[in-house]
A and B are shown apart, each in its own frame.
Chain A
Amino acid sequence: MIKAGIIGTGNIGTDLLLKLIKTDFIEPVIFAGRRMSSNGIKLAQEKGINVTDKGIQFFIDNPNYCDLIYDCTNAIDAKSHAEVFKKQSIKVIDLTPAKVGDLCVPTINPEAIKTRGNVNMITCGGQASTPLLNVISKHCKLNYVEVVSQIASDSAGMATRLNIDNYIHTTERAISEFTGCNNCKVILNLNPAIPQVDMQTTLFIKAEDIKFSSLNKDIYKTIQRLKEYIPHYELVMPPTINNDVLVLSIKVKGTGDYLPEYAGNLDIINCAAIEISKNLL
């Protein structure tokens, strides 16, 4: 069993806690926030989870309390938290856009968590797109990659909105790193429709020497692998080539643990974080 702590008791942190409780290999030993009255803390208490409102101070006062930390706070706080956990040699999976550690995707570089003290989960668009792009890059020479995502407005909190530029830059960096293609563009659309829309991501790819049948087979294989840890990851527009542009589209529904099902964008980051944790077993 991995003894894990969560810092940050907002939507992401609370959803992650419920997911950890369901696993049989991670034991959530502390849920650290700043307000006892927060919805997340109240829910954690109902579930019998150890909670604190001391935030990072709890970990300073109780060194080496756990083996692994999920940082679900924000980019600024996560940077200073990283220093605290580094001193205690506690592994950190960072779910904020702080980018202290290596960008990490379960199907590409899951071992990073073993060799590095701190790994970053990029963005929802990054987790949805880079596994496929990485595989595609092995079947052709990529000249240009474009990733367009739709998320429901109700799933985009103020932090996402304030950091929308950051989302774009971080996702673009991950695409470059995991495909070797520096020419890429990321677009994010917020759709306010009610009932809320699911997260959907479309890939547009310009490439040379596409070996379509072998590539197609590998795409389906990768999607099967992704479904193992993102249960509602689904291909909605199969790969097609039109005027030398490869297009495909996927949809991600959440599992509805704490966040509603339409918030696949938040769910996918937590699913990826848990999948990465398996490498510490």
Chain B
Amino acid sequence: MSNIIITDSSLRDGNHSVKHTISLDSIKRYCQAADSAGVPIVEVGHGNGLGASSLLIGEAAVSDNQMLCEARKNLPNSKLGVHVIPGIATIEKNILPAIDVGVDVFRIASHCTEATVTKSHIEYLSKNDKEVFGVLMMTALATPSELLENAQIMQDYGAQAIILMDSTGTYLPSDVEERISLLVDTLDIPVGFHAHNNLNYAIHNSIVAIQNGATYIDACIRGFGAGAGNAPLEVLLPVLDKYGYSVDINFNKIIHEADNVLNYLVPKVPVSAPVNILTGLNKLFSGFEKPIIKASKLNNIEYSSLIFELGNRKLVAGQEDLILEVAQSLNK
């Protein structure tokens, strides 16, 4: 059976669950562990990727440059990956410096229906012989045919793989099957999947994605990621093995590190708390968990009513300012 390539997003998506405060020392220790276990791609950065440290989304404890330099030093074998959202990051301000640091894989992301904003970024990286993937975020907000259309746009720009993100943690396995199989059957490039665990389907959905032809899968140690977290790497590896898929990662080292990370990286293992179940059902970005709780408390309203209203407004990732505005308006 075909080889599965895992991207470990703990040091990027995990930043959401600690308000972007992952330290250089944690990056160093986790990169060393992931590298020695043979993880193919390690993604590092602010939760919303390059250039995203902001009052809007959260200020990072360390700069992009510091994070990437530290990771690069400690990843002699693994590829170093970054998440890039046009509209937040630009080629000049963020991508060029990341190239200088030695980033290997650029994952250029847009809201699932807005692939055309990635044109200049994907084309630039592709022309400069960088490994570049197209990432469609918040995919539960689009139909399968819209996703295919946007994936094809990114493929035309030069993306070498397409990653579908269930950023809201909304999908059931049948949703994943329908979307992944459509892309795998139609695109000329590999397809990947990034799960969130709001409805406790992260592992199940990842397996279904692979069974339908996905070859790139995102996972995080202890599921360390936004909201209810992602597919836990230490669970995904043995499950893949039981299904007969080969993954070239040392399971013993990962299971050992899954304990260690509690001492330096993961203060709290993500769970599907009620707030995460509600954001998942209302198709809201998992990273909104903390701003939603904060804005509800500040304005003395129930977070459930805020989540419901935000769902109606169909916010995309990066619209934390509207959480404040809607919370204030509900308080009136």
Contact = CB atoms under 8 A, between A and B. Distances in A.
Contact of B328 (A146, A190, A191, A237): A237
A189 B315 CA distance: 10
B56 A148 contact: yes
Interface stretch (A44-52, A62-70, A107-115, A158-166): A158-166
Contact of A165 (B92, B113, B328): B92
B114 A153 contact: yes
A150 B117 contact: no
A190 B54 contact: no
Contacts of A162: 119-120
B65 interface: no
A187 B117 contact: no
A245 B325 CA distance: 15
A225 interface: no
Contacts of A164: 86-87, 90, 117, 120
Contacts of A169: 90, 92-93
A223 interface: no
Nearest to B114: A190
B55 interface: yes
Contacts of A247: 55, 321, 324
B54 A146 contact: yes
B314 interface: yes
Interface string A224-260: 0000000000001100001001010100000000000
B46 to A, nearest CB: 12
A191 B319 contact: yes
A192 B113 contact: yes
Interface stretch (A20-28, A199-207, A212-220): A199-207
Interface string B67-100: 0000000000000000000111011110000000
Contacts of A163: 120
Interface string A123-148: 00000000000000000000010101
Contact of B321 (A158, A161, A197, A202): A202
A161 B54 contact: no
Contacts of A237: 324-325, 328
A18 interface: no
Q: Taking each of B298, B315, B329, which has the highest tally of chain A beta carbons within 10 Å of its own beta carbon?
A: B315
B66 interface: no
B211 interface: no
A168 B114 contact: no
Contacts of B51: 185
A206 B54 CA distance: 11
A193 interface: yes
Contacts of B92: 165, 169
Q: Taking each of A162, A163, A185, which has the highest tally of chain B beta carbons within 10 Å of its own beta carbon?
A: A185
B55 A146 contact: yes
B301 to A, nearest CB: 15
Contacts of A200: 321-322, 325
B314 A193 contact: yes
A165 B92 CA distance: 8
A192 B55 contact: no
A188 interface: yes
Given A162-B120, A237-B324, A190 B55 contact: no
Nearest to A150: B319
Interface string A48-63: 0000000000000000
Nearest to B321: A202
A163 B117 CA distance: 9
Nearest to B123: A162
Given A187-B318, A189-B87, A189-B319, A202 B120 contact: no
B111 A202 contact: no
Given A161-B119, A191-B316, A245-B55, A150 B113 contact: no
B314 A191 contact: yes
B116 A161 contact: yes
Interface string B289-332: 00000000010000000000000011110110110110011000
B119 A191 contact: no
Contacts of A185: 51, 54
Given A153-B113, A164-B117, A202-B56, A190 B90 contact: no
Q: Taking each of A150, A153, A165, A185, which has the highest tally of chain B beta carbons within 10 Å of its own beta carbon?
A: A165
Contacts of B87: 164, 168, 187-190
A247 B314 CA distance: 22
B6 to A, nearest CB: 30
A121 to B, nearest CB: 21
Contacts of B114: 153, 161, 190, 192
Contacts of B314: 191-193
B328 A158 contact: no
Interface string B108-136: 00010110110111000000000000000
Contacts of B55: 144, 146, 204, 206, 245, 247
B325 A249 contact: yes
B111 A161 contact: no
A187 B116 contact: no
B322 A150 contact: yes
Q: Taking each of B55, B56, B93, B318, which has the highest tally of chain A beta carbons within 10 Å of its own beta carbon?
A: B55
6 contacts: A148-B318, A150-B322, A153-B113, A162-B120, A187-B88, A190-B117
Given A164-B87, A169-B92, 14 more contacts: A146-B56, A148-B54, A148-B321, A150-B322, A161-B116, A165-B90, A165-B92, A185-B54, A187-B88, A192-B113, A192-B141, A192-B314, A206-B55, A247-B321
